[in-house]
């Protein structure tokens, strides 16, 4: 199971929110490159980079941070937040992202997303499924749809999507443990999917449990920044 550390960016700084609430913001490092280099030095290979300013503005903002990290590390970066147009997408790929992370777009502008999959290749996209009570949540989790998470995943897998991460909105940033039952159900329904767990991870015990149920990878953010999981722990237990 691959460990994918997360860096969330506001004003060019590394921050974390709780449950996507910009009012509950904590700055962890003024220099995201330092954080990314520490991840790379620990042997981690991927990075989940989120442009929170972009997500709020509806257009990519912090592409310079992406460019800097991509130029100075060998991390495979997926970048999301504010990708709404093909111009945004081009900026993200030209700045060094290996994958573009798409969430609300796949719900609100499904036909455009399918066009992108066909044009750029489905291996260039990471689909985010934010979930509240097994229904898809969009627009920074402010809006819950009536779309069933399993139907959503099945449809996009048919379109060619190969990697999906799922965040239980109720768990994110709260360090209360991940949604094991939800993830078990997803893995059971889509055994060949590269499935990435996200949200709620608080300890090495959580990581071991996610590995045991068959997750392909897990995104870890706050638990690393708060010292609940150290990079040494990850390396030592060979979970990555």
Per-domain residue ranges of the chain? 2-99+171-237
Average pLDDT, the chain: 93
Give residue 125's pLDDT band: very low, low, confident or very high (50, 70, 90): very high
Q: Residue 23: is its pLDDT beyond 90?
A: no
Asked if residue 116 has pLDDT above 90, the reply is: yes
Supply the DSSP string of 13-28, one letter for each residue: EEEEEETTEEEEEEEE
2-99+171-237 has CATH 3.30.2270.10 classification:
no
- pLDDT exceeds 70 at position 141: no
Instruction: Of 82-91, 138-147, 162-171, give the lowest mean pLDDT range.
Output: 138-147
| Buried b or exposed e, range 137-176, using 16+ CB within 10 angstroms | bbbbbeebeebebeebbeebbeeebbbbbbbbbbbbbebe
User: Over 80: is that where the pLDDT of 127 sits?
Assistant: yes
Name the DSSP class of 147. Answer: E
Closest CA to 73 of 91, 49, 52, 51: 49
Region 179-205: mean pLDDT is: 96
- Tell me: pLDDT of 175 over 90: no
C-alpha span between 165 and 46 (Å, rounded) = 14
pLDDT band at 173 (very low <50, low <70, confident <90, very high): low
**151 included as an active-site residue:** no
Residue 8 falls in the annotated catalytic set = yes
- What value does the mean pLDDT take over residues 133-137? 92
Instruction: Return d(Cα 133, Cα 20) in angstroms, integer.
Output: 17
Confidence of residue 22 (pLDDT cuts 50, 70, 90): confident
Catalytic residue among 51, 88, 130, 172: 130
The pLDDT value given to residue 96: 98
Catalytic residue among 8, 51, 78, 168: 8
């Amino acid at each position: 199971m691959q460990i994918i550390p997360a860096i969330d960016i506001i004003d060019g700084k590394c921050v974390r929110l709780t449950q996507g609430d910009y009012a509950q913001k904590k700055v962890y490092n003024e220099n995201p490159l330092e954080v990314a280099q520490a991840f790379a030095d620990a042997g981690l290979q991927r990075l989940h980079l989120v442009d929170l300013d972009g997500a709020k503005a509806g257009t990519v903002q912090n592409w310079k941070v992406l460019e800097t990290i991509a130029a100075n590390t060998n991390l495979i970066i997926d970048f999301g937040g504010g990708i709404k147009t093909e111009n945004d997408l081009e900026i993200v790929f030209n700045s060094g992202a290996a994958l573009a992370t798409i969430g609300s777009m796949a719900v609100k502008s499904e036909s455009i997303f399918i066009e992108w999959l066909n044009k750029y290749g489905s291996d260039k996209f990471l689909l985010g499924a934010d979930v509240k009570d097994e229904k898809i949540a969009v627009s920074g989790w402010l809006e819950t749809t009536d779309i069933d998470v399993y139907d959503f995943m099945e449809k996009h897998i048919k379109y060619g999507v190969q990697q999906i991460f799922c965040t239980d909105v109720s768990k994110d940033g709260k360090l209360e443990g991940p949604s094991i039952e939800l993830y078990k159900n997803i893995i059971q329904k889509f055994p060949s999917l590269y499935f990435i767990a996200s949200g709620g991870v608080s300890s090495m015990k959580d990581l071991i449990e996610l590995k045991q149920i068959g997750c392909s990878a897990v995104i870890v953010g706050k638990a690393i920044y708060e010292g609940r999981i150290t990079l040494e722990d990850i390396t030592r237990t060979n979970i990555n």
